[in-house]
Chains A and B, each alone.
Chain A
Amino acid sequence: MNIEDQLKEIVEGNDVVLFMKGSPDFPQCGFSGLATQILQQSEVRFASVDVLADNAVREGIKQYSNWPTIPQLYIKGEFIGGSDIIKEMFENGELKTKLEGVAT
Protein backbone atom coordinates (compact mmCIF):
# COMPACT_ATOMS: atom_id res chain seq x y z
CA MET A 1 0.00 0.00 0.00
CA ASN A 2 1.44 3.40 -0.86
CA ILE A 3 1.57 6.20 1.65
CA GLU A 4 -1.43 8.04 0.24
CA ASP A 5 -3.61 4.94 0.61
CA GLN A 6 -2.29 4.40 4.13
CA LEU A 7 -3.15 7.97 5.08
CA LYS A 8 -6.57 7.68 3.48
CA GLU A 9 -7.22 4.59 5.57
CA ILE A 10 -6.22 6.41 8.77
CA VAL A 11 -8.25 9.52 7.94
CA GLU A 12 -11.36 7.64 6.91
CA GLY A 13 -11.05 4.94 9.54
CA ASN A 14 -11.19 7.32 12.51
CA ASP A 15 -13.99 9.78 13.29
CA VAL A 16 -11.48 12.25 14.70
CA VAL A 17 -7.77 12.06 13.99
CA LEU A 18 -5.00 14.52 14.75
CA PHE A 19 -1.68 14.39 12.92
CA MET A 20 0.74 15.96 15.37
CA LYS A 21 4.34 16.21 16.53
CA GLY A 22 4.68 13.93 19.54
CA SER A 23 1.79 12.35 21.42
CA PRO A 24 -1.16 13.88 23.28
CA ASP A 25 0.68 13.19 26.55
CA PHE A 26 3.99 14.52 25.27
CA PRO A 27 3.44 16.99 22.43
CA GLN A 28 6.72 18.06 20.84
CA CYS A 29 5.54 21.42 19.58
CA GLY A 30 3.36 24.14 21.07
CA PHE A 31 0.91 24.09 18.20
CA SER A 32 0.37 20.34 18.47
CA GLY A 33 -0.04 20.81 22.22
CA LEU A 34 -2.69 23.46 21.69
CA ALA A 35 -4.64 21.27 19.28
CA THR A 36 -4.49 18.39 21.77
CA GLN A 37 -5.75 20.60 24.60
CA ILE A 38 -8.67 21.81 22.52
CA LEU A 39 -9.73 18.27 21.62
CA GLN A 40 -9.39 17.16 25.24
CA GLN A 41 -11.51 20.11 26.38
CA SER A 42 -14.06 19.18 23.74
CA GLU A 43 -14.31 15.81 25.49
CA VAL A 44 -14.05 13.88 22.28
CA ARG A 45 -12.17 10.64 21.75
CA PHE A 46 -9.56 11.12 19.06
CA ALA A 47 -6.83 9.14 17.38
CA SER A 48 -3.44 10.74 17.01
CA VAL A 49 -0.56 10.09 14.65
CA ASP A 50 2.96 11.21 15.58
CA VAL A 51 4.48 12.47 12.33
CA LEU A 52 7.92 12.59 13.93
CA ALA A 53 7.87 8.80 14.16
CA ASP A 54 7.69 8.31 10.38
CA ASN A 55 9.08 10.71 7.83
CA ALA A 56 6.96 9.22 5.04
CA VAL A 57 3.84 10.09 7.04
CA ARG A 58 5.20 13.55 7.85
CA GLU A 59 5.80 14.37 4.19
CA GLY A 60 2.81 12.42 2.92
CA ILE A 61 0.24 14.18 5.05
CA LYS A 62 1.48 17.55 3.80
CA GLN A 63 0.76 16.41 0.25
CA TYR A 64 -2.49 14.74 1.19
CA SER A 65 -4.30 17.98 2.00
CA ASN A 66 -1.95 20.42 0.30
CA TRP A 67 -1.15 21.81 3.74
CA PRO A 68 2.51 22.31 4.69
CA THR A 69 2.23 22.40 8.47
CA ILE A 70 1.49 20.16 11.44
CA PRO A 71 -0.86 19.69 13.32
CA GLN A 72 -3.69 18.73 11.00
CA LEU A 73 -7.15 17.76 12.19
CA TYR A 74 -9.58 15.51 10.33
CA ILE A 75 -13.17 14.88 11.38
CA LYS A 76 -15.10 12.12 9.62
CA GLY A 77 -12.65 12.14 6.75
CA GLU A 78 -12.83 15.90 6.22
CA PHE A 79 -9.75 18.08 6.59
CA ILE A 80 -10.62 20.72 9.18
CA GLY A 81 -7.41 22.73 9.33
CA GLY A 82 -4.29 23.55 11.30
CA SER A 83 -3.93 24.99 14.77
CA ASP A 84 -5.08 28.54 13.89
CA ILE A 85 -8.30 27.26 12.34
CA ILE A 86 -8.88 24.69 15.10
CA LYS A 87 -8.51 27.44 17.72
CA GLU A 88 -10.81 29.82 15.86
CA MET A 89 -13.46 27.12 15.41
CA PHE A 90 -13.18 26.14 19.07
CA GLU A 91 -13.72 29.73 20.16
CA ASN A 92 -16.69 30.42 17.90
CA GLY A 93 -18.42 27.07 18.54
CA GLU A 94 -18.04 25.67 15.00
CA LEU A 95 -15.84 22.86 16.25
CA LYS A 96 -18.51 21.71 18.66
CA THR A 97 -20.99 21.55 15.79
CA LYS A 98 -18.54 19.54 13.69
CA LEU A 99 -18.04 17.11 16.55
CA GLU A 100 -21.72 16.47 17.10
CA GLY A 101 -22.52 12.84 16.56
CA VAL A 102 -18.95 11.74 17.12
CA ALA A 103 -18.50 9.10 19.81
CA THR A 104 -16.99 10.49 22.98
Chain B
Amino acid sequence: MVTPEDIKGWIEAGMTDCTVDCEGDGHHFEAVIVSPEFEGKSRIQQHQLVYGVLGDKMEAAIHALSMKTLTPDEALP
Protein backbone atom coordinates (compact mmCIF):
# COMPACT_ATOMS: atom_id res chain seq x y z
CA MET B 1 0.00 0.00 0.00
CA VAL B 2 1.18 3.48 -0.84
CA THR B 3 1.89 5.71 2.15
CA PRO B 4 1.87 9.52 2.32
CA GLU B 5 5.62 9.27 2.89
CA ASP B 6 6.01 7.44 -0.44
CA ILE B 7 4.23 10.23 -2.27
CA LYS B 8 6.23 12.88 -0.45
CA GLY B 9 9.43 11.06 -1.44
CA TRP B 10 8.44 10.61 -5.10
CA ILE B 11 7.49 14.24 -5.60
CA GLU B 12 10.44 15.69 -3.69
CA ALA B 13 12.85 13.49 -5.66
CA GLY B 14 11.49 14.75 -8.97
CA MET B 15 11.41 18.49 -8.36
CA THR B 16 13.84 21.25 -7.50
CA ASP B 17 13.96 22.51 -3.89
CA CYS B 18 10.61 20.92 -3.29
CA THR B 19 8.95 20.35 0.06
CA VAL B 20 5.80 18.24 0.37
CA ASP B 21 3.35 17.75 3.21
CA CYS B 22 1.20 14.75 2.47
CA GLU B 23 -1.60 13.02 4.34
CA GLY B 24 -3.70 10.09 3.28
CA ASP B 25 -5.28 6.73 4.01
CA GLY B 26 -3.64 4.59 1.34
CA HIS B 27 -6.22 5.44 -1.33
CA HIS B 28 -6.95 9.14 -1.08
CA PHE B 29 -4.15 11.59 -0.44
CA GLU B 30 -3.83 15.31 0.09
CA ALA B 31 -0.54 17.04 -0.58
CA VAL B 32 0.69 20.59 -0.20
CA ILE B 33 3.64 21.03 -2.53
CA VAL B 34 6.03 23.99 -2.47
CA SER B 35 8.65 24.51 -5.18
CA PRO B 36 10.21 27.41 -7.08
CA GLU B 37 9.50 25.40 -10.25
CA PHE B 38 5.86 26.56 -9.99
CA GLU B 39 6.77 30.21 -10.51
CA GLY B 40 5.23 31.74 -13.61
CA LYS B 41 3.06 28.70 -14.32
CA SER B 42 -0.73 28.41 -14.39
CA ARG B 43 -2.37 26.09 -11.88
CA ILE B 44 -3.02 23.60 -14.65
CA GLN B 45 0.66 23.63 -15.58
CA GLN B 46 1.65 23.32 -11.90
CA HIS B 47 -0.53 20.26 -11.40
CA GLN B 48 0.64 18.79 -14.73
CA LEU B 49 4.22 19.16 -13.53
CA VAL B 50 3.45 17.10 -10.42
CA TYR B 51 1.49 14.51 -12.42
CA GLY B 52 4.47 14.28 -14.76
CA VAL B 53 6.82 13.59 -11.86
CA LEU B 54 4.52 10.87 -10.53
CA GLY B 55 4.11 9.39 -14.03
CA ASP B 56 2.74 5.85 -14.08
CA LYS B 57 2.32 5.81 -10.32
CA MET B 58 -0.64 8.11 -10.79
CA GLU B 59 -2.36 5.32 -12.72
CA ALA B 60 -1.11 2.28 -10.91
CA ALA B 61 -0.64 3.14 -7.26
CA ILE B 62 -2.52 6.30 -6.39
CA HIS B 63 -6.29 6.33 -6.62
CA ALA B 64 -6.71 9.99 -5.83
CA LEU B 65 -4.37 12.80 -5.03
CA SER B 66 -5.70 16.17 -4.05
CA MET B 67 -3.02 18.81 -4.30
CA LYS B 68 -2.29 22.40 -3.53
CA THR B 69 0.71 23.84 -5.33
CA LEU B 70 2.57 26.89 -4.03
CA THR B 71 5.66 28.86 -4.93
CA PRO B 72 8.03 29.59 -2.01
CA ASP B 73 6.69 33.18 -1.88
CA GLU B 74 3.09 31.98 -1.70
CA ALA B 75 4.00 29.54 1.05
CA LEU B 76 5.29 32.26 3.39
CA PRO B 77 3.05 32.57 6.42
Contact = CB atoms under 8 A, between A and B. Distances in A.
B44 A81 contact: yes
A31 interface: yes
B44 A84 contact: no
A68 interface: yes
A89 B58 CA distance: 24
A30 B64 CA distance: 10
Interface residues of A, number: 14
A102 B71 CA distance: 33
Interface string B53-73: 000001100001111100000
A66 interface: yes
A69 B43 contact: no
Contacts of B67: 84
Contacts of B68: 84
Given A79-B44, A81-B44, A68 B59 contact: yes
A84 B48 contact: no
User: A interface, by DSSP: helix, strand, loop or mixed?
Assistant: mixed
A12 to B, nearest CB: 18
Which residue among B43, B58, B65 has the maximum number of chain A CB atoms within 10 Å of its CB? Answer: B43
B8 interface: no
Nearest to A78: B44
A85 B51 contact: no
Interface in B16-51: 28, 43-44, 47-48, 51
A66 B65 CA distance: 16
